[in-house]
């Protein structure tokens, strides 16, 4: 097992804490990616709205 030496020194609690910290980092990374995508989508919708507004009212 990969953690066999680590287990003898620190125990299973340390492994659990390490894996939990790793999982928390992954969750935070996914949250960041989600919100960056959300902001990018909002920018695209805003640009589309402006272009449609120009087309509807003939300000070309």
- Which pTM was predicted? 0.62
Return the DSSP state at 59. -
pLDDT of residue 10: 63
- Sorted by sequence, the CB contacts under 8 Å of residue 54 that are 6+ apart come out as 60
Q: What is the spatial distance between Cα 49 and Cα 23, in angstroms, rounded to a whole number?
A: 39
pLDDT of residue 14: 75
Please say whether the beta carbons of 54 and 60 come within 8 A: yes
Q: What percent of the chain clears pLDDT 70, i.e. is strictly above it?
A: 78
pLDDT of residue 33: 98
């Amino acid at each position: 097992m990969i953690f066999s030496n680590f287990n003898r020194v620190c125990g299973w609690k340390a492994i659990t804490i390490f894996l939990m910290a790793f999982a928390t980092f992954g969750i935070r990374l996914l949250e960041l990616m989600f919100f960056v995508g959300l902001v990018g989508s909002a920018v695209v919708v805003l640009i589309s709205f402006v272009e449609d507004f120009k087309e509807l009212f003939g300000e070309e």
